[in-house]
Amino acid sequence: MTQRLHLVFGGELIDPSRSAFKDVDAIDIVGMFPDYASAFDAWKAAAQRTVDNAHMRYYIAHIHRLRDEEAEASPTEELG
């Protein structure tokens, strides 16, 4: 069975209408989660903690979509 990993992260944006972080070194990595439901719960908790700051945003990245287990190795994987 394929894992459906999700990464929850966020930080302060330069402009709330864009997705560019003000300070990449200060990005808050909430964690990696085995399913969307647990990632959503973590995302919601992080977003609610920072609700008073309009420039703070949290995201859920679908890590499992970055790699297709059925596809051949990418050129970077062949380097190792």
Beta bridge mates, 21:
13
Strand order in the sheet with 6-12: 28-33, 6-12, 56-62
The pLDDT assigned to 79 comes to 47
| pLDDT over threshold 50, residue 3 | yes
**How far is Cα 35 from Cα 59, in angstroms, rounded to an integer?**
14
Q: Give SS3 for 68.
A: coil
| pLDDT over threshold 80, residue 76 | no
Q: Does domain 6-70 have CATH number 3.30.70.2400?
A: yes
Kindly state the percentage of the chain with pLDDT values over 70. Answer: 80
**How far is Cα 74 from Cα 3, in angstroms, rounded to an integer?**
20
| pLDDT over threshold 70, residue 40 | yes
Of residues 40 and 75, which shows the higher confidence score?
40
